[in-house]
Structure 1
């Protein structure tokens, strides 16, 4: 593709953690359509679109993260856009929540984001440019019963992005949070029908969102057009959280 037909923010090395399904996969596809070189991390094998590089990685293990980055860097060059999307849930009410239920979710969702951001920042600092996008959740700001572990992990991403902005903002690096609401994915489809109806009733848009709608926002916040936005929290929730 010639320079004349390539958007200024296309052709970059993009890494999406947990990008083999759901919102992560939609994000990977959006960057691929943008003309970027896209890699995703995964824990279990799955079919990926043509042109997407899959690397096996466990975000709870620093050595595994480092090895994954080395693979991506060898194939696509230093990571210029990092989307920290890998996450798990272990929903249960506080009185039934075990210590492992809490710490494992924090370690994957929040500390996992820290591990990949720390590794990516090395290359971004050298390049004096970069985009970090953390995929949070409306429950991180709005709260949700049975999700004290998940909500805490997703809320922590806001402080992480804002501290990163203050540390690395002068190096041409932005860090923002995208907070999806109720998005139709395999994970949300597993929720009881009564819970889904309850959520739907509280969404002003009166519908659930699509993974593509989240992906479009992520692609934009990582673009040149959004170069002066950092430390922001962008809800994609049909008005559910109302900016909490």
Structure 2
């Protein structure tokens, strides 16, 4: 663990969608490990302020940026601001994502476009802007937060599954393009994780979900965050283009 902590101490990291769920756990863990963590959010002002203020009250270096990263100019502005205010950007975790579930044959065009814009376009625009800096610095780590829904059938989630599968394809291609610049690009594919959304389900639904997982439980946001910490560490410097599946064996 010491090696991982040393790797990101005093480094500047960016987490998208950091005001809740997995994103919030990422922000907290990485800041506790000594990094300066900037996180983006799109609408939840109060939640973002709570995360920022809670971390800062502990002496942690955490800063919230409100931005619509679906817009290329906004993504570029976030990266420019980070480098200007805090220093060279070392790592990016593309965690921001939304769902709009419905059967494919009845899925509205708006729901298709919104999910792809947030989950895929936002990740690409931000990564593209970050990579231009990382190439200059000759180091960097990119992590795409995909999903097991991008690896296997997920009825009712045509838009979400397409976006998460696309992130895996993007990860593989970028890993080849960026390897010679000492930049590693990997993905994490969580399964059922105990987030606020899952906690709001009724007990019957929770039991059904757990029955699908060989481990017979949901994963925790901290378990996902620890996987990201590993991929950001020097211990993962020779790992690139990989998708780390965190699902309790569900997709085996």
TM-score, normalised relative to structure 2: 0.90
SS in 1 for 2:110: helix
**Residue 189 of structure 2 is aligned to residue 179 of structure 1:** yes
Using a 3 Å threshold, how does the CA distance of structure 1 residues 190 and 89 change in structure 2: closer, same or farther?
A: farther
Aligned residue pairs: how many?
A: 237
Corresponding residue of 2:165: 155
Offset of 1:116 from its aligned partner? 0.6
Whether the aligned pair in 1 keeps the contact of 2:186 and 2:240 (CA below 8 Å) is: yes
Corresponding residue of 1:15: 14
Whether the aligned pair in 2 keeps the contact of 1:200 and 1:206 (CA below 8 Å) is: yes
Whether the aligned pair in 2 keeps the contact of 1:22 and 1:186 (CA below 8 Å) is: yes
Whether the aligned pair in 1 keeps the contact of 2:75 and 2:122 (CA below 8 Å) is: no
Whether the aligned pair in 1 keeps the contact of 2:215 and 2:248 (CA below 8 Å) is: yes
1:125 paired residue among 135, 159, 169: 135
Offset of 1:138 from its aligned partner? 1.0
Using a 3 Å threshold, how does the CA distance of structure 1 residues 194 and 93 change in structure 2: closer, same or farther?
A: farther
Distance 2:180 2:153 in 1: 33
Deviation by residue 1:42-80 (Cα, 9 ceiling, x = unmatched)? 112121221311011112111221222222112211211
Distance 1:90 1:201 in 2: 24
SS in 2 for 1:109: helix
**Residue 42 of structure 2 is aligned to residue 32 of structure 1:** no
Q: Which moved more, 1:114-123 or 1:94-103?
A: 94-103
SS in 2 for 1:231: coil
Q: Which runs of 5+ in 1 are unaligned?
A: 1-5
What is the aligned-residue RMSD (CA, Å)?
A: 1.3
Whether the aligned pair in 2 keeps the contact of 1:55 and 1:71 (CA below 8 Å) is: no
Show structure 1 runs of 4+ deviating over 6 A: none
Offset of 1:143 from its aligned partner? 2.2
Larger proportion of helix: 2
Q: Which moved more, 1:72-81 or 1:187-196?
A: 187-196
SS in 2 for 1:143: coil
Offset of 1:171 from its aligned partner? 0.5
Whether the aligned pair in 2 keeps the contact of 1:59 and 1:108 (CA below 8 Å) is: yes
Corresponding residue of 2:223: 213
